[in-house]
Chain A
Amino acid sequence: MRLINAAAAVLLPVCLFSSTALAGKADDTLNIAFSKELEHVDPYYNTAREGILLGAAVWDALLYRDPKTGNYVGNLATGWTWIDDTTLELTLRQGVTFHNGEPFDADDVVFTLNYVIDPKNGNKSQANTSWIKSAEKVDAFKVRIHTNGPFPAALEYLAGPIIIQPNEYYAKVGQQGVALKPIGTGPYRMESVEPGKHFVLKRNDAYFAAAKPKASIGTVDIRTVPDANTQMAELFNGDIDLVWGVPADQADKMAKMGKFQVINAPTMRVGYLSLDAAGRTGAKNPMTDLRVRQAVNHAINRQGIVDALMKGTSAVINSACSPVQFGCEQAVTTYAYDPKKAKALLAEAGYPQGFSIDFYAYRDRPLAEAMIGMLAEVGITAKLNYMQYAALREKRIKEGTPISFMTWGSNSIADVSAITSAFFRMGGEDDARDPEVAALLEKGDSSVALDARKAAYGKALTTIADKAYWVPLWIYSSNYVMGADVSFTPTPDELIRFYDISWK
């Protein structure tokens, strides 16, 4: 008994001490929870949103798109001109240094671009870099980027995911070294990395702050907490100051408590059903019939699902892209919720009794089930196959699927080339395989004049809607829950710019 008393005497103060909140304004540390493990801190070696956030905090891109005006401004570059349709010349900023003191110059840009486009180096987000043919140094602060054919959306990519690495440091430590100690030029430097688990960012007081501001908060401490309920518990305890992607029902409860700020903001992520119009899963697949695809479009009450299950700022879309993206034509054929018409179309196509079909999904099971219920009402028996994303993607690339419920966030790139062209230009996940649409998109991707791009994309999107290749569903919104003393305004591109967050 004496032993137990002694143990209690030792333990109790320790326990109490451990519960004092470490978080927040008092020690100028913003505590953030990531929901999933980030595989690699180098933005070229992950495909996660979390990676884009770290990319913008620790590194800089050549350009910057002002989230308020949508205009491009110089970041690591100070000027840029198209010398011809496939050559972009950029003048670089002088006097910038990396976090380890290495000066920034043309060698860094040329090294980074040529490194990431080489398939040998295993860049994971090839969609972001495949337009680059090569990079070439003109002088110490001037580079030229050669593109694979005309690619006017280049600026958007150069302002987003294409960040610049320090060439000397990278050559010294390699991919593995960067995984543990990344070096950039950005407003935050990476203090420590425990891969996948814990990241500590410290303000870079020497930041050049040309396009992005200097960071306001001294330390950003990021932990991976996979369970949403545990995240909420940590918020209650004050051990976490900011989380996002909080499910609507939980966000509602948190808002009612009055202790937290809960903000719902739209994102660039869209949901859609991809229908096997090309007949990749079999030529007799009902989805090859236009009337059946139209029936599927009419069968789904998208507004009903948005109102009942998604809430917030989610909204129905009609084009195969996010309305905030450049070239996302809105004047396309729309399909109102009309089960009667759907049934009539099915009967006309030779399916008066309906049919059975496989329905694939990888996230948002309740939404998938709601849609399956609506399809059942018009006579389509859809069997749900719920898979992991990686496995579903592989299946779609290799053999296709009759109906897939997919989503796409466009890597926060505000240009139709990041979504419509990614899925309708005969790539692995192109279920339409429509040469006319592919040609129009190619024209849009490679025209230099903005009007010509807009016209080509508009025509492609009109055709996609007329032929009902997709069922465009909705844009997703995200719920941000944060402590009362955090000052942060979410942007529609779902990029959380740590350097824009401050204390109230």
Chain B
Amino acid sequence: MLKFISMKLGLALLVALTVSFISFILLYMAGDPAVSIAGEGATADVIAAIRQQYGFDRPLLAQYIEWLMRALSGDFGMSYYFKMPVSDMVAERLPVTITIGVLGMGFALVLAIPMGVLAAAFPNSWLDRLALGIAVVGQAIPSFWFGLILIVIFSVNLGLVPASGTRHWTGYILPMIVLGYYATPAIMRLTRAGMLEVLSADYIRTARAKGLNWRSILFKHALRNAIIPVVSLAAVQLGFMFGGSVVVETIFALHGAGFLAWESISRNDLPTMQALILIFSMFYIGFTLLADILNAWLDPRLRSG
């Protein structure tokens, strides 16, 4: 197991390094940072002076290595746009994104797994159809529209929660639902498919023949085997939520890391983009790694792979 983990860990680090290097090169090719720093009405002389002052005229590889060395010690440089240390800004905004991501994933799992299990336990029943309906709707509704509808109903009409912001903890409820609901269909369908396959396996028939109680078979014997692909999917979805909650953060005025990333891109704020790309890719890589380890723990056969 230890060998398995260390091998996966080494691979993950390599991937993270590659991602950061490629994104660094691409970002520098996409726009001239000196022009965006100089601001409106700057002359060519000023732009040239800035290019030199910030060291943009040096070879890219040298710039990257310098950036990486600093980043490893936690210094991501200054945001061109906010004129603040990037690490401070990210530290301030990441908790919001992580909070709604974890809440959203919790919401999705609590909704999706029982529904998937029930849908598989009673295939083609009205319960299955209901679960399918919820999944189809969740996949079909764009999250910005769903978010606004929830705001109109629960904030404007019923006055139960604030429409935006997190001045009060109730402000997290609607973002959690919107973000979580979007992840629900895939998890539920995968749970259902896995359960259907497992439930038709011989050992389940044996367990039933032994006279074990149905609930214990479903949740103890079958779910543990059916959930392996769901764990991988949920891990990737969580990575997606941490990096891609831009829409939800915009609608609910949450000012998390996703919104910051979007803003940095539109404003050519390289240090911020670079730090966020590294952090987001670390999330993806970390969660994939976690999923691998969890799966290996759940299913010893995977450890040799």
Contact = CB atoms under 8 A, between A and B. Distances in A.
11 contacts: A122-B37, A175-B83, A176-B85, A195-B84, A223-B165, A225-B164, A233-B148, A237-B156, A237-B159, A398-B32, A422-B41
Interface residues of B, number: 48
B261 to A, nearest CB: 12
A127 B41 contact: yes
A391 to B, nearest CB: 6
Contacts of A45: 83
Contacts of A175: 83
Contacts of A122: 37, 50, 83
A18 B167 CA distance: 9
B151 A233 contact: yes
B156 A19 contact: no
Interface in A22-43: 37, 39-40
A377 interface: no
B32 A179 contact: no
Given A179-B83, A388-B266, A391-B31, A230 B163 contact: yes
A175 B37 CA distance: 15
B40 interface: yes
B53 to A, nearest CB: 7
A337 B109 CA distance: 60
A258 interface: no
A223 B40 contact: no
A47 B253 contact: no
A385 interface: no
A16 interface: yes
Nearest to A394: B35
Contact of B82 (A14, A196, A223): A196
Interface residues of A, number: 49
Nearest to A362: B266
Nearest to A418: B41
Contact of A123 (B35, B39, B160, B263): B39
Contacts of B263: 37
Contacts of B82: 39-40, 179, 195-196
A226 B156 contact: no
Give 3 closest A-B pairs by Cβ, nearest first: A127-B41, A124-B39, A19-B159
Contact of A176 (B84, B164, B251): B84
A292 to B, nearest CB: 29
Given A45-B83, A179-B82, A226 B163 contact: no
A390 interface: yes
A129 B266 CA distance: 26
A125 interface: yes
Contacts of B266: 388-390
Given A124-B40, A224-B253, A397-B35, A237 B83 contact: no
Contact of A15 (B35, B152, B160): B160
Given A225-B164, A227-B250, A237 B39 contact: no
B161 interface: yes
A394 B36 contact: yes
B44 interface: yes
A391 B29 CA distance: 12
B81 A391 contact: no
Contacts of B44: 428
B255 interface: yes
Interface in B128-173: 144, 148, 151-152, 155-156, 159-165, 168, 170
Contact of A18 (B49, B161, B253): B161
B242 interface: no
A197 interface: yes
A126 B40 contact: yes
A176 to B, nearest CB: 6
Interface in B5-38: 31-32, 35-38
Contacts of B259: 226
A390 to B, nearest CB: 5
A338 to B, nearest CB: 36
